[in-house]
Amino acid sequence: MDFSVPPPPAPLARIDYMHNGLYVRVSAGPGVGFVGGTDSDIEEAFAFGLDAMIGGSPSDGLSIGGAAITNVLATGDGGGFQYIVGPFFDAYPNPRHGGHFGAMVGLSGYAGSGDPMFGAGGSLYGGYDWWVGPNWSSGMMLRGTGGFVTANGVGAFSGSILALITLVYN
């Protein structure tokens, strides 16, 4: 009588990825920026953005955390540097696919030809990421940003619309 048991089958290879767990996104790309004061017209500028976001997923397809987004703006009078630092969320309606949208709010700053200015700002973004490996995806994202800042009783607005290339670990 033979009591031997055949070995178990090989484990199934992971062929389906899902957006969950640790979230890290870096993005960079060009676009158009806008700068204007309460006493001046809005001036159009070339903009280049660089973003860093880190957080986690409380549920599949939803990531929350902290972000720092920046814009270098080149205007006729030299331009400036805009940033926003604060909390964000990024949602993937189908966590197995790459379509996503998100928002952030936070402290905004602008440094140009005058005194540094501080205030509040926000950003809305959306795009699509393609899987390039386990937990890694890369894609494109459209980001709109705006901040209202003041210094010495003078207010200003700065913003941008950018097309970014992204790399995501999630």
Note the pTM of the prediction, 2 decimals.
0.84
Model confidence at 112, pLDDT cuts 50, 70, 90, reads confident
Query: Longest Cα pair distance anywhere in the chain, in angstroms?
Result: 96
Rounded Cα distance between 46 and 32, Å, is 5
Q: Is residue 95 part of a domain?
A: yes
pLDDT > 70 fraction of the chain, expressed in percent and rounded = 96
Mean pLDDT of 83-106: 96
pLDDT > 90 fraction of the chain, expressed in percent and rounded = 62
Q: Is residue 7 part of a domain?
A: no
Predicted pLDDT of residue 88: 98
The range of the structural domain enclosing residue 145 comes to 23-169
Predicted pLDDT of residue 1: 75
Token pair 């204007």 is found at: 36
Q: Which of 57, 53, 55 is nearest to 20 (CA)?
A: 57
- pLDDT of 14 strictly over 60: no
Instruction: Give me the CATH number covering residue 145.
Output: 2.40.160.20
